[in-house]
Amino acid sequence: MVESWSFLDTAESNFRPLVVIELAKGTKEETIEWFTKRIVDKKANGGAQLLIKPLVTENGVENIYLVGASHLRLLLGAETVGLVKECSDNSMRTFTYSSRKTFKHFADDNHNFLTMAECQYIIKHELENLRAKDEKMIPGYPQAKLYPGKSIVRRLLTSGILVQIFPLHDREELKKLCHSWYGRVKIGYQPLDDIRCYFGETIALYFGFLEYFTFALIPMAVIGIPYYMFAWEDYDKYVMFATFNLLWSTVILEVWKRICAILTYRWGTLLMKRQFEEPRPGFHGVLGINPVTGREEPVYSSIKRQLRIYLVSLPFVCLCLYFSLYVMMIYFDLEQWALDYHKENESNFSSLMLYVPSIIYAVVIEIMNRIYRYAAEFLTSWENHRLESSYQNHLILKVLVFNFLNCFASLFYIAFVLFDMKLLRQSLATLLITSQILNQFAESLLPYWLQKRYNRRMKKRMCSKKTDTDLSLAEQVNMEKEMGTYLGTFDDYLELFLQFGYVSLFSCVYPLAAVFAVLNNITEIYSDALKMCRVYKRPFAEPTANIGVWQLAFETMSVISVVTNCILIGMSPEVDALFPDSKMDLVLTVALVEHLLLAIKFIMAFVIPDKPRDIQMKLAKLEFESLEALKQQVRMQLHFLLIHH
Amino acid sequence: MVESWSFLDTAESNFRPLVVIELAKGTKEETIEWFTKRIVDKKANGGAQLLIKPLVTENGVENIYLVGASHLRLLLGAETVGLVKECSDNSMRTFTYSSRKTFKHFADDNHNFLTMAECQYIIKHELENLRAKDEKMIPGYPQAKLYPGKSIVRRLLTSGILVQIFPLHDREELKKLCHSWYGRVKIGYQPLDDIRCYFGETIALYFGFLEYFTFALIPMAVIGIPYYMFAWEDYDKYVMFATFNLLWSTVILEVWKRICAILTYRWGTLLMKRQFEEPRPGFHGVLGINPVTGREEPVYSSIKRQLRIYLVSLPFVCLCLYFSLYVMMIYFDLEQWALDYHKENESNFSSLMLYVPSIIYAVVIEIMNRIYRYAAEFLTSWENHRLESSYQNHLILKVLVFNFLNCFASLFYIAFVLFDMKLLRQSLATLLITSQILNQFAESLLPYWLQKRYNRRMKKRMCSKKTDTDLSLAEQVNMEKEMGTYLGTFDDYLELFLQFGYVSLFSCVYPLAAVFAVLNNITEIYSDALKMCRVYKRPFAEPTANIGVWQLAFETMSVISVVTNCILIGMSPEVDALFPDSKMDLVLTVALVEHLLLAIKFIMAFVIPDKPRDIQMKLAKLEFESLEALKQQVRMQLHFLLIHH
């Protein structure tokens, strides 16, 4: 069992800083001493058994600490968090320290067995699981209450003593990654495995989805181009295009599940057991006994939460939706007024006035989105969800519904109330292209400018100091701690979701949408990559097995688009002309086609397996092995019992 | 580890017969000797380590064997199959022999810890897992090939040497169960836990579903009665009734999932890990290596199977559906002809002639159903599915689609082609009541008569012999081996499924359907219970956690019923009168309402959790404990490693 492990690697000489802890200026000495002691203390004494070192800069100690861990400690941490790694026989297995020799690339002196992102994730996990024993409060801060089992780091964060914890960039690795990712203009796939090693699975999966989605849009774009070039206006062709689109969007969402399974199987997260979720930092309640863990922790009645959701949040969201529709109606009135004004007294001023309503509406929408986002965050936080995942789901749902309405309500109104297909096509094109240009500016040009400024600042510093390794580390930490924090993939997915809406909801009136989407996404990959590597602090890796609630959101959108496209085609004069005698027959035919398409969609989603056959096989093999192991155990037991009689 | 287990209980004196094996008459001695030796042989030598005893009747040995096992053997078998039992602290846990003391009601001398059904399930499992070692064939039968790892019992069955294996009834228990189940007229719940102990989870869950479904129909029936009594013909009321029905049917299907979770949690099957499935008996292929198990077994290309499904089975099913529709059209022609004939020459003969088409159609449908069932079984077997579950799913799908069309096509035709609501109501009532009377006869009166005959036969035998315990066992075995085999819950669920169709598809034209369904189901419970206890051989218990594909079938039916009911209401003259100016508005309103109802259905299905909160808690607690155990293990390891340095 005990191998030739050298515990010398816990010595300072081998210390590799992984995570930075920034404490508030003026934090009391006794608090710092207590906190650092808890971090380095032995597991058996309730510590985290990590290594910690204050960062020394030319101004002296600045309440910034670097955290690392010995190689052995990291390996045992990998077992605790349940990392899944590849074995020598190419199968994926949960890593355990005792079976470490069976894993691919494992060697006692190979410190690259765990990627840096994994090491940082382990340290984050260990820090967050550093729990109060019998302390009633944080030493030096009597108002920061503790109870047995409370996560110390979370209490330090909520009471403002701990400013932030973030993982350090690895300059060497980042340079390599940047080069292979966006450093050269090339046609080809992104280095997803490298991205995953550096940024973790959640971010790699977002880029994987972005890339997949772009490739999936190409067939639609290719079919869409001739419609624009030859100005095909006959509805036979539009019907064909829309039908292809509807089935295609089902297929791509199903195939994505399979590709996602392939990626996450390779990364080990498909097999990784879900960790037991801790209460989220903002969660509060009366101290009670958690019925699941049997530990003392804040408890909040689920009925109270349900009441808050259904009696406050739901009406508020409905009110906001109503208000958004009301604003839209005002916009249409204003537009009508501007048109009338332009007709009556035609002048340069009046033709300029034509654009005013659209600009006002765009600005108002942007303001409403932002205010609503704050309100949604406040409300969801007030609902007091125990788990971060539940908080996220409720927030995403609220924001999604509002954004959907804000983006598409005017288009729905034009299509199904005004029945104006020309205006619909024009508005769709304007909205799509404007939003893409704005996004490109906010995500690509702005970061580029920020990077330039950052480079200048860095160069200035580098010139004034000697380029010592130790000093450059202090510089690096000081620079990184000022960088913005990446708030997760939410906004990136939301952008893709709305884009998918523009492409699919009205695909039969504007086939060119897919072309713009493809063009946008190609630059989006580069600008998002730049953002991740240069603009933001390195985020902690988050293991994940799928894109979660977004899969559902995209699927819902594709169901809605079946309905809208069927109605649009039914409303077209060309289809109308096919049923000269009876409007009834037309509507009934459209309804029948719609139901058929929906039925085909659901059958397709049911028939296409969510995991490719070889992944299914590998999962079955793992299950079979664990069952066999159990049987073997019973067999041994039986043998043993019989021998002793 | 080794306790005061008395291995004397393996002696004949304690032998309790559980399962009967009947070999073909004239089976060679060497085969019998080899087979019985394998059954009693030690696990370490590849045997099943069970007890076996030939049944001695007055005619001598009849190639019938009784199989039992020692108490210890059964406990270890329970660990192998992964039984989940209740612990002393009321939580459900997977049984292991080493933790046996922590389980409720466990005592070394309590032989009732495992129910008889569980013991029989364990023995069946052990017998089926008796595998060939290096035998190339069954001794004495060179044509019955074996390969290492092949289940011996399955080969014996397919080569006809083994006639049947079935579990024995327990006369005492059965009498008690019959009494509490259907022996007295009472209002109250069925003794589901007792049924489960005696017949296993699959059958108990069927009866649980039947009972739940009956209770769930009562509100519909209660609301339906005044419609009949007061002959409410205004469509406002029908619309209300139909809307209630649609939402109610969604609610009951969602609530059933929760009740199912409560039942199967209590029975332990919700937590039971799925066993690794063996190839089904009829599966054949070229000997190859199974990529999952790494063992040698027949392998059959999945592409070939897909080709057979999509190129042969699918077209065949479509052809049958077309043929069934064709027959229906002939029936409507015949009916028209009979009506015309009756009008032209009105006589007694001609009014009798009016019934002829219906009778012919009913008979033809019955014949078609039977022929199709054979064809479906043949085709599905020819598709060569590796797993029994996959075979069952494909068979159920085939039979379900055909039965759905056969039962409802004529009603759809009357409703949506002939637009004849009067005729629809009449046909619906006729079909529903006729099918219920026929079923009641086939399931209740016939079994009752069979039981009477059986009782007479039994009494005759009892009088002619002395009532020795040993002899009565032989009598019991001889009687039971002649009883019919219960072929599973398929037909019972199918009957309920079609009934659900009658109640929900056209609920707005015939509200009384639910009343008939409730009345039918009350007697159905009694007749099915009688059938299980008296008519059939005792079936082997089958652990199951839900009603499987039937949940999906019922949900699909409830989606279809939203569409049909909306169309029916839209077609009614009263609703028509609300839109005097424009037919279009009517159709659009109906379509809108339908989409809204469908959306509400899906949202409801999404919002209502599938498991009640306390079951979720208990599952979370188990998961938490296993994670904690893992962490504890890592902590110990770390401690150990540090001490040794």
Q: What is the ipTM of this complex?
A: 0.82
Sorted by sequence, the CB contacts under 8 Å of residue B238 that are 6+ apart come out as B227, B232, B508, B509, B511, B569, B572
On the 0-12 / 13-18 / 19+ scale of CB atoms within 10 A, B341 is: middle
In Å, how far are A37, A240, B97, B226, B589 from A587, measured between CA atoms?
75, 19, 67, 36, 11
pLDDT bin (cut points 50, 70, 90) of residue B90 is: confident
Q: Is the pLDDT assigned to residue A265 strictly greater than 90? A: yes
Q: Is the pLDDT assigned to residue B13 strictly greater than 60? A: no
Q: How far is A590 from chain B (nearest CA, A)?
A: 11
Using a CB–CB cutoff of 8 Å, tell me whether B1 touches chain A.
yes
Q: How far is B571 from chain A (nearest CA, A)?
A: 12
More confident call, B186 vs B537: B537
Tokens 């390195």 map to which residue? A538
> What is the distance between the alpha carbons of residues B500 and B558, in angstroms, rounded to a whole number?
9
pLDDT bin (cut points 50, 70, 90) of residue B574 is: confident
Is there a contact between B627 and A2 if contact means CB atoms under 8 Å apart?
no
Nearest to A591 among B97, B591, B621 (CB): B591
- Residues present in chain B in total: 645
Tokens 């108990």 map to which residue? B204
What integer is the mean pLDDT of A392-415? 91
What integer is the mean pLDDT of A364-389? 89
Q: Which of B480, B465, B487 is nearest to B18 (CA)?
A: B480
Most confident of A336-345, B149-158, B266-275, B393-402: B393-402
Asked if A130 and A152 count as a contact pair (C-beta separation under 8 A), the reply is yes
Q: Is the pLDDT assigned to residue B359 strictly greater than 70? A: yes
Sorted by sequence, the CB contacts under 8 Å of residue A436 that are 6+ apart come out as A499, A516, A520
Q: Which of A177, B487, A597 is nearest to A589 (CA)?
A: A597
> What is the distance between the alpha carbons of residues A145 and B594, in angstroms, rounded to a whole number?
55
What integer is the mean pLDDT of B215-234? 82
Using a CB–CB cutoff of 8 Å, tell me whether B291 touches chain A.
yes
Angle at A70 between CA A66 and CA A73, to 5 degrees: 115
Residue B138, phi then psi, degrees to nearest 5: -75, 125
pLDDT score, position B467 = 42
> What is the distance between the alpha carbons of residues B102 and B91, in angstroms, rounded to a whole number?
11
Q: Which of A249, A226, A567, A245 is nearest to A421 (CA)?
A: A567
Amino acid at A393: N
What integer is the mean pLDDT of A48-57? 86
Max CA distance (Å), chain A? 110
Average pLDDT of the residues of chain A:
84
Q: How far is A573 from chain B (nearest CA, A)?
A: 16
Q: Is the pLDDT assigned to residue B265 strictly greater than 90? A: yes
Q: Which of B171, B135, B168 is nearest to B38 (CA)?
A: B135
What integer is the mean pLDDT of B367-389? 90
Task: Provide the percentage of residues in chain A whose pLDDT is more than 70.
Answer: 91
H or E element at residue B565: helix B549-571
Is there a contact between B621 and A2 if contact means CB atoms under 8 Å apart?
no
Asked if B300 and B384 count as a contact pair (C-beta separation under 8 A), the reply is yes
Alpha carbon of residue B293 to chain centroid? 29
pTM > 0.90: no
In Å, how far are A638, B172, B178, B181 from B455, measured between CA atoms?
44, 16, 15, 19
Q: Is the pLDDT assigned to residue B7 strictly greater than 50? A: no
pLDDT bin (cut points 50, 70, 90) of residue A11 is: very low
Is the torsion defined by CA of A185, A189, A194, A196 positive or negative?
positive
Q: Is the pLDDT assigned to residue A270 strictly greater than 80? A: yes
3-class SS at B297? strand
Q: What is the pLDDT of residues B322-336, one digit of tens each?
A: 999 999 999 999 988
Q: How far is B293 from chain A (nearest CA, A)?
A: 6
pLDDT score, position A314 = 94
CB atoms within 10 A of CB B643: 9
pLDDT score, position B539 = 93
> What is the distance between the alpha carbons of residues A209 and A196, in angstroms, rounded to a whole number?
13
pLDDT score, position A166 = 94
Q: What is the pLDDT of residues B508-534, one digit of tens each?
A: 788 888 999 999 998 888 888 888 888
Most confident of A11-25, A199-213, A468-482, B39-53: A199-213
Which of these ranges, A402-411, A570-579, B14-23, B626-635, has the smallest mean pLDDT?
B626-635
Q: Is the pLDDT assigned to residue B186 strictly greater than 80? A: no
Amino acid at B153: V
Q: How far is B84 from chain A (nearest CA, A)?
A: 15
Sorted by sequence, the CB contacts under 8 Å of residue A269 that are 6+ apart come out as A84, A201, A543, A544, A545
- Chain A hits for B98, CB-CB cut-off 8 Å, are 637
CB atoms within 10 A of CB B18: 23
Q: Which of B379, B251, B362 is nearest to B310 (CA)?
A: B379
> What is the distance between the alpha carbons of residues A621 and A237, in angstroms, rounded to a whole number?
48
Angle at B438 between CA B433 and CA B440, to 5 degrees: 95
Q: Which of B59, B57, B89, B67 is nearest to B21 (CA)?
A: B67
Asked if B569 and B577 count as a contact pair (C-beta separation under 8 A), the reply is no
Chain B neighbours among A 14-43 (CB < 8 Å)?
A: 42-43
**Chain B residue closest in CA terms to A79:** B634
Asked if A289 and A299 count as a contact pair (C-beta separation under 8 A), the reply is yes
What integer is the mean pLDDT of A293-303? 83
Sorted by sequence, the CB contacts under 8 Å of residue A502 that are 6+ apart come out as A407, A428, A431, A432, A513, A517
Average pLDDT of the residues of chain B:
84
> What is the distance between the alpha carbons of residues B519 and B214, in angstroms, rounded to a whole number?
9
What integer is the mean pLDDT of A67-71? 90
What integer is the mean pLDDT of A481-492? 85
Which of these ranges, A197-206, A440-449, B382-391, B457-466, has the smallest mean pLDDT?
B457-466
pLDDT bin (cut points 50, 70, 90) of residue A574 is: confident
What integer is the mean pLDDT of A132-159? 87
pLDDT bin (cut points 50, 70, 90) of residue B496 is: very high
pLDDT score, position A12 = 43
pLDDT score, position A378 = 93
Alpha carbon of residue B98 to chain centroid? 34
**Chain B residue closest in CA terms to A303:** B613
In Å, how far are A373, A436, A488, B445 from A368, measured between CA atoms?
8, 19, 22, 71
Using a CB–CB cutoff of 8 Å, tell me whether B82 touches chain A.
yes
Helices (H), A82-170: 116-128, 152-158
pLDDT score, position B445 = 73
DSSP states of B39-90 = HHS-GGGT----EEEEEEETTEEEEEEEEE--HHHHHHHHHHHT-EEEBTTS
Asked if A6 and A154 count as a contact pair (C-beta separation under 8 A), the reply is no
> What is the distance between the alpha carbons of residues A400 and B179, in angstroms, rounded to a whole number?
58
Q: A383-418: string of b/e by CB count within 10 Å (b at 16+)?
A: bbbbeeeebbbbbbbbbbebbbbbbbbbbebbbeee
pLDDT score, position A459 = 63
Using a CB–CB cutoff of 8 Å, tell me whether B8 touches chain A.
no
Q: Is the pLDDT assigned to residue A467 strictly greater than 50? A: no
> What is the distance between the alpha carbons of residues A553 and B408, in angstroms, rounded to a whole number?
35
pLDDT bin (cut points 50, 70, 90) of residue A539 is: very high
Task: Provide the percentage of residues in chain A whose pLDDT is more than 90.
Answer: 28
Nearest to A76 among B73, B80, B638 (CB): B638
More confident call, B210 vs B129: B210
What integer is the mean pLDDT of B605-619? 89
H or E element at residue A584: helix A583-607
Q: What is the pLDDT of residues B112-124, one digit of tens each?
A: 899 899 999 999 9
pLDDT score, position A185 = 66
